[in-house]
Amino acid sequence: MNAFLYANAWLIITVVKVALLLFIVLTVNAYLTWFERKVVAHIQSRWGPHRVGPHGLLQPMADGLKFLFKEDPTPAGVDRFVYFLAPLLALALALTSIAIIPFGPDPLPWKILGQTIYLGILPPNVNIGILALFAITALGVYGVALAGWSSNSKYPLLGGLRSSAQMISYELALTLSVVGVLLIAGSFNLTEIINDQTSRYGILGWNIFPQFLGFICFFIAAVAETNRVPFDLPEAESELVAGFHTEYASFKFAMFFIAEYTSMITVSCLCAILFFGGWLSPFPATWTWTYYLPTVLLLPAGLWVIWDGLRYETIFGKVILPGIGAVMCILAIALVIFPGVNNFIQAPFWLLSKIFVFLFVYVWMRGTLPRLRYDQLMAFGWKMLLPVSIANVVVTSFAILRWGAIK
């Protein structure tokens, strides 16, 4: 048994990693919906979900259960194979793209089954990281287009047509806007792209400064690729009911939903990695006091959760919230006591904070921006975004020719 474990260690560890990442991503997805509803509600002077559990924290579970137990009718006249394939494709591709993201530079400090364990599914020396990501995103159009076509209904068809046109148009700008970063880093490997942004001055080494234009193009194109506000024309509810997923119900609808939120997470990861230094700290490495930032943030948050939970009248609030708060406080104190753990936690801490900021920007945009008209969307993509990103590539390559890579 032991020999078998050691012989297939790599395979077993990869499977466990995939399962773990899947669990984390799905949970984060669920709480992303809660976060989105809360933030949008506060932007619109409402409370958002607050009935199910303290602060509505159990709302995602209630929603999930509802998704599972709703009736799942298949409309008449659909192309059954494609109709079932579309949500599967959307979900599978969205989840696969997360597998390429590296979440930290250092392997775990101990070996399991004789293997060094890195954070992230792929080993850090995969050379085509970002290309593979683009390949997976490129296939993502099919989920939406096929769902629209196979539903045999006019609104989904219009939504599917819109989305395939939109996604092809913005994919060009998306890919071209990254070329500047690739030129500076000289690599497709995400880990190398991050390491290339290291500098003595912390934040000043990040790609956002030389590639500001590239970042703007990338973010706009990425939002359009994920079909989010203000580019959510494929599912514009005031015109197309719900667009491409009008005829989907229950768990098949949930699959599209999860796919959309997962691609939001992927795009946030990419923004952080390509332009904002990934897991690098914004402070110079010599400022050692910044190493205690996770503790400083975690401790008050934990204390606040305990205090907030004790005010609740329900058992759940009184018991669970202080429990979570206590765990957070203990973690914060543990980080101070064990400097090794603290050092290890730095990189994932910064990466996750940056991802969180971008997720917030996504939700913020949804709360504030109106939807574009279809012709405006196309004109913007082709006449504005594409020329600007091509100009960015040209300027960057001339700058690199003239002065060499910026470091």
Partner 1 sequence: MTAPLIIFFVLAALAVGGALSLIFQKHPIHSALSLIVVMVALAGLYLLLGAEFVAAVQIIVYGGAIMVLFVFVIMLLNAGIEEHTNFSKLAGFPGLLLAFALTGFIAATIARSTDTVQAASQPGNMASTRDLSTMIFKDFVYPFELTSFLILVAVLGAIVLAQREKA
Looking at the Cβ atoms of 168 and 369, the one nearer to partner 1 is 168
Minimum distance from residue 161 beta carbon to partner 1 (Å): 6
Minimum distance from residue 128 beta carbon to partner 1 (Å): 5
Is there a cis peptide before residue 230, judged by omega within 30 degrees of 0? yes
Looking at the Cβ atoms of 175 and 389, the one nearer to partner 1 is 175
Looking at the Cβ atoms of 149 and 218, the one nearer to partner 1 is 149
Looking at the Cβ atoms of 168 and 319, the one nearer to partner 1 is 168
Minimum distance from residue 118 beta carbon to partner 1 (Å): 20
Asked whether the beta carbons of 233 and 162 are under 8 A apart, the reply is: yes
Minimum distance from residue 172 beta carbon to partner 1 (Å): 9
Looking at the Cβ atoms of 157 and 259, the one nearer to partner 1 is 157
Minimum distance from residue 100 beta carbon to partner 1 (Å): 12
348, with CB counted inside 10 A (0-12, 13-18, 19+), is middle
Please state the separation of Cα 157 from the chain's center in Å: 28
Tokens 């500001």 belong to which residue? 212
Query: Hey, what long-range contacts does 292-295 have (CB within 8 A, 24 or more apart)?
Result: 292/335, 292/336, 292/342, 293/349, 294/332, 294/335, 294/342, 294/345, 294/346, 294/349, 295/332, 295/333, 295/335, 295/336, 295/342
Looking at the Cβ atoms of 80 and 373, the one nearer to partner 1 is 80
Minimum distance from residue 160 beta carbon to partner 1 (Å): 6
Minimum distance from residue 95 beta carbon to partner 1 (Å): 17
Q: What is the DSSP letter of 47?
A: -
Residues in a beta bridge with 115: 112
Please state the separation of Cα 225 from the chain's center in Å: 13
CB atoms within 10 A of CB 25: 20
Q: String of b and e for 308-324 (b: at least 16 CB within 10 Å)?
A: ebeebeeeebeebbbeb
Looking at the Cβ atoms of 165 and 233, the one nearer to partner 1 is 165
**Can you give the binding site for partner 1, defined by CB under 8 A?**
79, 81-82, 85, 127-128, 131-132, 134-135, 137-139, 141-142, 145-146, 148-149, 157, 160-161, 164-165, 167-168, 171, 175, 188
